[in-house]
Each structure stands twice: as C-alpha cells, then as structure tokens.
Structure 1
C-alpha cells in the first residue's frame, strides 16, 4: 500500500508531472487494484484522487486512455460509484466516446457502464448528453470488434428501458446494426443480450416497425430453425427469447401487418411448421402468431382460406388431456379471433369445427372449458347460429 500512496501523491501534483510519471502512477494504481481491490479502493477514497482523474481525462489526451481504464477498474466496486459520480467523472468520460481510438472507447464505455448501472437518474442524464448517438456510431464503425460490441450492447441494454432512450434510438438506424449482430451471433449469451435489447425497444411502436423493416423477425426465425432440435438448456433459453420477441413484434398493428404480408410473410409461412412441431415453445409461438394476425378481419379471412383452422384443431387435440395449458389458451384465442368475420363463421361450421370443439370439452381443466365455450359462442353467433340450427 506504500507504493500506492506514492503513486497517489504523485498524481495529486498533476500539472507539475510529466506524462511518463502520470502514466507510471496510473499503472501503479491498476496494479494495486489487481492485488487488493478492497484496500486499494479505500485508500483511493481517503486520498480524494477522483477530481484529479477528471482533470486528466479533460486535460491530458495522452494519459486519458489509462485514466479511463483506472476508473473502469475502480467502478467494479459498488461503493466506489458515488465518489466517481460526485467527482463528475461520468460527464468527463462521455466526450471520450467520440474518439476513434478503440482502446479509449472500450475503457470509457466500461467505466460509464459500471458507474451508471441501475442508476436511472444518471442514465437519463447520459441520454440527454447525446450518448445514444455515440453508441450507435460505435456499433456502426466497429461491428467486428468483439469487446466494443459487447460493451455497447450492455450499454444499450441498460439504457433501452428508458422512454427517453427509446425515443432517441427511434431516430437512428440502431435496429439495422442489431440485426447484423444477431445474425452473426454464435453463442447463446450474445443472442440473449441482443434479444433483450430488442425486446426493450419493441415496447415502442415506431421501433417495432423499424425492427420489422430491418428484418429482425427473419433473423429470429433463423435462430428458431437452427436451435429447435437442441436439448441444451442455454439453447432452449435462446429459443424462448427469440419466440417472445416475435410475439412482441406482433403486438403492434403496423408491424403485425408488415409481418403478415397477406399470408406471404416469413413468420406466417413458418406458422404451419411450428403448430405441427413437437416443440411446445414453437407450438405456442405459432398459436400466438395466428391469434395476433387475426386481430385484422382481412387477415382472418385469408388465414381460414389458407387452412390454418384445421392446424389449430389438430394442435388442440394433442393437448386436450394432459397438454400444455398455455398452448391450449393461445390456440383457442386464435380460433375465437378467426371466428369473428361472418364469412369465416360459415366456412368454419361447414368444415365441422363446432363438432371438433365440442369433442375437446372433455378436458377437465375449467379455464380451458371456459375458453372452448367462448369460442363456440363466437362461432355460432349471428349467421353461424342459423347455419348450426339447420344441421
């Protein structure tokens, strides 16, 4: 600790020291932190070195990279975040994100991310300083830098839950860059990080549309195709994350219509395969996709013409006794929505849908029976009831 004291005293003379001496002292702090983080952190706090680090960031470009690295290491300790904030280190670090030095971007990004983690007030201040533009620029300029992409994705993950951040991101091309990263992702951690960012962004309707236009749903369907046969826990988590994001994109009216594309969209093209699969998550995704597409009457008519009703009934019959309740509910919601247009009621009754639904009433689960009866009621409402009475 004596050596650390000397380095700290040296740094306090910032302005009188040469760049070589400053760098030597900063390296000394890094070494001390690596040897004993807790004791070194306490000493750093006691000596009040943080304002000096801010001065170095602002006034000595040659030493700023090393100073940012020191701050990033210091900020690993939860109790060290407040001294960093009080010394104004975050605002001193933000301009460094405009650098073209990848090492600078990496250390500054890590430092800011660690200091601001789970601090919504500070995160909002960051967004107000224009940090979103910097993050998207880095993702654009350095898509092949694994460390920078990782830090950037974590930063977006921390900020994307803020409405002000979503608004700022909707004015960028971030979705295009995230799709590129999703397509090249080779491990489940990267897939889940990107889908988590996209899931947060999908809470914004404008971003939903941008995501569909950028092909997010296509990249997700590729992931499902690649991982659906895996029994590895991490792959199953990725399948669930991808499935959930597809459903989230379908919740927006405009994004849903773009994905349906009159029954020619990639997701609807996959629905039949998902409904007929043995994978409960894919079955659920398929049923929820139909239920959401069926919010539009034109889509309903088109899907009935394409034969989706019989696929849903086949799925329900698989699950009637001891099946997955969530799959049953999703399939029944889809059938109920499909039965809303009058033209569909007639066709569905002619195809014997009512009889098949009545057979499903042997299910012993009350919520499922309730939904089945609701679907039957919708089916026989109006013209459908007249047709049923003549049979």
Structure 2
C-alpha cells in the first residue's frame, strides 16, 4: 500500500496539464482512497499546481481530491496555506462567469468547507483575501430541490458558510456588511411558496442564520422573518426543521416586541396543537428534547407583559389549564408555568382563584410534594402559587384550601431552587395573616429549619428567604395588635407584589406604653405565647441580629422591625414580672425570656457597629428612623446600655449622614 501511495504522489508531482487523462486517473485514485491514507504525505505542492489549471475537469477533480483528504485534521493543517486557499477562491471566482459549472462550485465548496472546519487560521486567510465576498455570492446562485446536483450544492454551500461563520463575531459582522441577511431572506421568501417541497433548502439555509444570531449581539430579525419562521414551524412535519425554527425563535423571543408579535401570530396555539398531535410519539431522547424546546418557547413568550395580556383573552389560557390534567410531566409543568406567568396581575390571580385553578394546582402539589418527586414541577407549582397568593382577596381562600398544610411537608426537601420558592410562597402567604403567622411561629420544625437554612445554605437566595420569612412572621403576627405595648411607631409598608422595597414612613402605633398593662393580662400573655416559642428555639435571635448585616436595604429594615417588636415585647421581662402574673410559678423559669442576655450573647453591639459602619452612607430615612426606635428600646435594659457603650453605638449613630442632615436643616 505504501509503495502504491508513493507512486501516486510521484505521478502527481510529474503530472502535466497536457496529459489530462493520466492526471485525472491519479487524482481519482487519491479521491477513492481512505482519507487518512495520505496523512503522512504532503499533497499540497502537486495539488496547488494542478488546481490552477485552466482545464475545468482537472480543476474539478483536484478540488474534489482536496475535499476528500482534508476530512482529516492532519491534512487540514497542511492545506491551511494562503496559496492553496487563494487558488481555490480564484477558481471559484472564475467559475462565476458565463461558463458556470455547478460541479466545480460544489467541489470547491467542499474543499474550502472542510479546510475551514474548526480552523480559525483558514477562516482568517479567507477574510484577509476578501474571499468572504465570493462566499456570500454563493447565496445568489439559484438552486431548487429538484435535482440531485442542486441538492448537493445546497448542502455543501450551507456547510461551507456555516463552517466559516463559526469563526466568531468578526467574521459574522463582516458577513452582515456583505448583506448576508438580505440574501438569506430572499431564499426564505422563495421557500415560503411551498415549505414542504423546499425543506432541504430551508434545512441548509437556517443553520447560518442561527450562527449569526449567536455571534452578533442583539441581532433582531425583521418582523417578516419572525413570522415566516412561525409559519414554517406550523407547516412542516420535519423534526429537524422544527428544531431549527424553535431555536431561532427562542433567540428572537428574548425581545418583548417579538414576544408580542409571535403571540399575535398565534405561535403558542400552533405549538399547543403540534404537541397535542405528536405527544405520544415523544419516546426518544431527541423527540423529548424537541418537545421541551417547544414547551419552553410558550413559557418564554408569556414572560412578556404585553404578550401575556394579549394571550390571556385567547384559547391558550384554557389550553394551559387543560394540561394540568396531563400525565406527561413536560406538558404538565408547562401548563403550570404558563398559568404562573398569567398570574402576574391581581385581576388575573383573583379570576384564577375564583375559577378553582388554584385548587387544581394544590391537588397536583399534594401528589408531588415529596423528596423524590420532580423538582422542576415542584418549582413551577410553588412559583405559580406564590403569585396567586399575593393579592389580599386571595389569601383567605388559598389558606382555607390547604396551601400551608400542602407545602409544609416540603421542608424535607433540600434542593435550593425548590426551597427558595417554598420560603417565598410561605412569606407571601403570611402577609397580613395574623392567625397564620402566630401559628407558624410555634411550628418548631419550621423555625428550626429556617434557622438551619439561614446559617448553612450555600445558596444565597435560601439564606435570605429564611431570614425574611422569620422577620415577616414576627411582623405580621404582632405589629398591628392593639395589646402590644410600644413607645413609638415602627415604619412599615404593606408588601408589594413581586418586589421588595424599603418601607416608607407610615407609622403604625400601638396604644399602650412600655410597662403599662394591657386591658387583660391573660390576653397579653396569650398574645406573646407564639413569639415566646419562637425565641426559645435556639438560634432565632442570633439569626435576626445577623440579618442586620445583610447587603440588602429591605432585609436590614425588616430585621430592625422584627428586633424592635422583640424588644418591645420582652426587654422588660428579665427585670419585671408583671407580664407573667397569670403564669404559674412553676412555669415561669421556662417561660421567661431574658432578651437582653440573648442580645449580648449574639454580639448585638458588634453587629450594630458593623451595620452602621458599612451602611451609614446608603441608609434611607426609613431605616434610620427604625434604627433610632430600636436603639431607644434597647435602653430599657441596663445590661444593654453598658453593652452598647462598649461598641460606641451612640457616637456611631451621630455619624450617620442622613441624621446629620436632619440636625443641620
């Protein structure tokens, strides 16, 4: 075999253009051999000489020979020479004149396409000699899908352009300057006359479009093209073509205007019908991946505000509700996520609760709230229920339907995304729900888990939500109770949908002062039973104090509110026994809360010092007011007065810029 290859190489070196038959025979022997047979030989010199031949047949066979041998990485490196690439480009230019030969163009595309495969050096050589202009002109060549030759040209042209454009942003932007988008648009326009008949042309022209999307930032298609992609998806039964269209539409649908355009084009309903038609065929991993891609596009379109509002009045809402009864996990999850996106306005949420969609969601969650159940479905359900429970008119109905009882077993789950949504859902549920907040404060398992997550989670969202839920339980259980003694107002804002904002100055002031007995001592003692249970759970006070040093203003403020309520309720307890008059003496030792000692053990002074030192420049008026209230309450304890003095808290308070501004007005 080696001798035979040596003879071929020698023959090519000595080949003359005049002896066409012998030259073609030698080239054919190379072409029909295994590509790696020549990896140890250098064919560049003889083939460079032959490719410059004016004889079209010889040139064609030489290009074919280069195409075959450059299927291997070893030969691609050898043929990455400016002279070789320039010769192939020149050959392509000459062939674009009157005596056009399709076969020659096919072989040159194959040769250059193979050389460019994962080869930035070759791509840059084409760019430097402005061969990309010749490459773009290939898109002007009309070719249908009728003949095998046209079909081969369509495939090798698409492959060559794709391999070249994969070189990155510079090449892609240069292609844009050469009007590649206009040329691709013209081809797609032609294909729209009969999508099924032109599937092969579309399959080979859309990949370059996808590569451009990846390499050119903020590449927005014309509305016409986006509509055409939606129409191709609706009209084709080819899964490969469907995948290309879905991927392109995913890129484009990141833009809210495109979301609305696709919503009005009926794309979501089209996808729904296609999935209903083919869902039983999604038995392979490839088919399942395509199904998920289609489902994800529905959800993505619904993330736009205008597109969501538009689709709420279409049959898609009922379609997504129908998927709640699906046994297919992907369709079920998509239905839940879609409804969650619809539930982004109070009116939609109220409608969905009144129409019992919420009950369906809870029924699904009750069957999927275990450690081994599908995490993506759990995440979707909790996200949707969180949105539904935000409007105040919905809270009572959702709680009565069993939301809390359904999600509390999920405390056993420790997957951060699910835990994050679980805590957020509970937090939204207790907003303004005094009885529920009181009940959950006494749930030892819940509070212990919150303390654990607040200290040990590697997931910042879980840490933050654990702390916020504890703070909210305190706030919503106690801040509006008339029997809670307080000397001054705590600035609290009703919580808003979907976002966390600093509390504006709207004081809620209780009726009784520090040390004053409420109208019923027994009622007062009952009022603080839940909070007493909370404080007696190890680590709760420490967690609230650590929350002061959060990077987020809203969490700092929530910590101050919670700590102020704790101080209002318990700071006198270690010095006075008046609030315990109805508690049997045998129980007092366990019921008493020595909050000042707990504060000192948790290094409150140190944390306040860190908080003020790090955040003084960014503190809002509300945070400063609540900080003043909290430190004022702390002075009800002699122990805490001395503790604060150790950390120079009074002087630090005076250094807060916003307080200085008040003083100098």
Shorter-chain TM-score tier: 0.7 to 0.9
1:250–1:161 CA distance, 2 compared to 1 (3 A): farther
1:70–1:115 CA distance, 2 compared to 1 (3 A): farther
Asked if residue 343 in structure 1 is aligned to residue 385 in structure 2, the reply is no
Q: Supply the distance in 1 between the matched residues of 2:204 and 2:65 (Cα, whole angstroms).
A: 24
Matched with 1:246 is 298
1:172–1:26 CA distance, 2 compared to 1 (3 A): farther
Partner of 1:203, secondary structure, is coil
Partner of 1:62, secondary structure, is coil
Matched with 2:382 is 332
1:346–1:370 CA distance, 2 compared to 1 (3 A): same
Offset at residue 10 of structure 1 (A): 6.0
Asked if residue 257 in structure 1 is aligned to residue 306 in structure 2, the reply is no
Matched with 1:62 is 99
Equivalent pair of 1:124/1:164 in contact (CA under 8 Å): no
Matched with 2:278 is 227
Task: Name the TM-score, length of structure 2 as normaliser.
Answer: 0.51
Matched with 1:205 is 256
Partner of 1:357, secondary structure, is helix
Matched with 1:81 is 123
Correspondent of 2:171 among 95, 112, 122: 122
User: CA deviation digits over 1:298-317, x for unaligned, max 9?
Assistant: 32222223221011101101
Show structure 1 runs of 5+ residues with no match: none
Correspondent of 1:166 among 219, 239, 250: 219
Q: How do 1:269-308 and structure 2 match up within 5 A?
A: 269-308=318-357
Question: Which stretch shifts more, 119-128 or 297-306?
Answer: 297-306
Q: Supply the distance in 1 between the matched residues of 2:272 and 2:66 (Cα, whole angstroms).
A: 45
Show structure 2 runs of 5+ residues with no match: 1-8, 13-22, 28-44, 145-149, 439-665
Task: Name the TM-score, length of structure 1 as normaliser.
Answer: 0.83
Q: Supply the distance in 2 between the matched residues of 1:356 and 1:342 (Cα, whole angstroms).
A: 15
Asked if residue 95 in structure 1 is aligned to residue 147 in structure 2, the reply is no
Offset at residue 348 of structure 1 (A): 3.1
- In the TM superposition, structure 1's runs of 4+ consecutive aligned residues that sit over 6 Å from their partners are 386-389
Partner of 1:133, secondary structure, is helix
Asked if residue 186 in structure 1 is aligned to residue 237 in structure 2, the reply is yes
Q: How do 1:302-321 and structure 2 match up within 5 A?
A: 302-321=351-370
Q: Supply the distance in 1 between the matched residues of 2:67 and 2:135 (Cα, whole angstroms).
A: 22
Q: Supply the distance in 2 between the matched residues of 1:360 and 1:44 (Cα, whole angstroms).
A: 62
Offset at residue 380 of structure 1 (A): 4.0
Equivalent pairs, count:
372
User: CA deviation digits over 1:228-268, x for unaligned, max 9?
Assistant: 3343222211111111111111222122222222xx332x2
Equivalent pair of 1:188/1:234 in contact (CA under 8 Å): no
Structure with bigger gyration radius: 2
Asked if residue 360 in structure 1 is aligned to residue 407 in structure 2, the reply is yes
Q: Supply the distance in 1 between the matched residues of 2:301 and 2:341 (Cα, whole angstroms).
A: 10
Q: Supply the distance in 2 between the matched residues of 1:212 and 1:118 (Cα, whole angstroms).
A: 34
Offset at residue 65 of structure 1 (A): 4.3
Equivalent pair of 1:97/1:109 in contact (CA under 8 Å): no
Equivalent pair of 2:413/2:419 in contact (CA under 8 Å): yes
Matched with 2:90 is 52
Q: Supply the distance in 2 between the matched residues of 1:156 and 1:120 (Cα, whole angstroms).
A: 13
Partner of 2:382, secondary structure, is helix
Partner of 1:166, secondary structure, is coil
Superposition RMSD on alpha carbons, in Å?
3.1
Q: Supply the distance in 2 between the matched residues of 1:51 and 1:35 (Cα, whole angstroms).
A: 18
Equivalent pair of 2:158/2:204 in contact (CA under 8 Å): yes
Q: Supply the distance in 2 between the matched residues of 1:64 and 1:174 (Cα, whole angstroms).
A: 32
Partner of 2:283, secondary structure, is coil
User: CA deviation digits over 1:107-131, x for unaligned, max 9?
Assistant: 5443222211242210122123321
Partner of 2:99, secondary structure, is helix
Offset at residue 271 of structure 1 (A): 1.9
Offset at residue 290 of structure 1 (A): 1.6
Q: Supply the distance in 1 between the matched residues of 2:331 and 2:284 (Cα, whole angstroms).
A: 16
Q: Supply the distance in 1 between the matched residues of 2:396 and 2:99 (Cα, whole angstroms).
A: 77
Q: Supply the distance in 1 between the matched residues of 2:405 and 2:89 (Cα, whole angstroms).
A: 75
Q: Supply the distance in 2 between the matched residues of 1:134 and 1:370 (Cα, whole angstroms).
A: 48
1:237–1:105 CA distance, 2 compared to 1 (3 A): closer
Partner of 1:63, secondary structure, is coil
Q: Supply the distance in 1 between the matched residues of 2:265 and 2:330 (Cα, whole angstroms).
A: 25
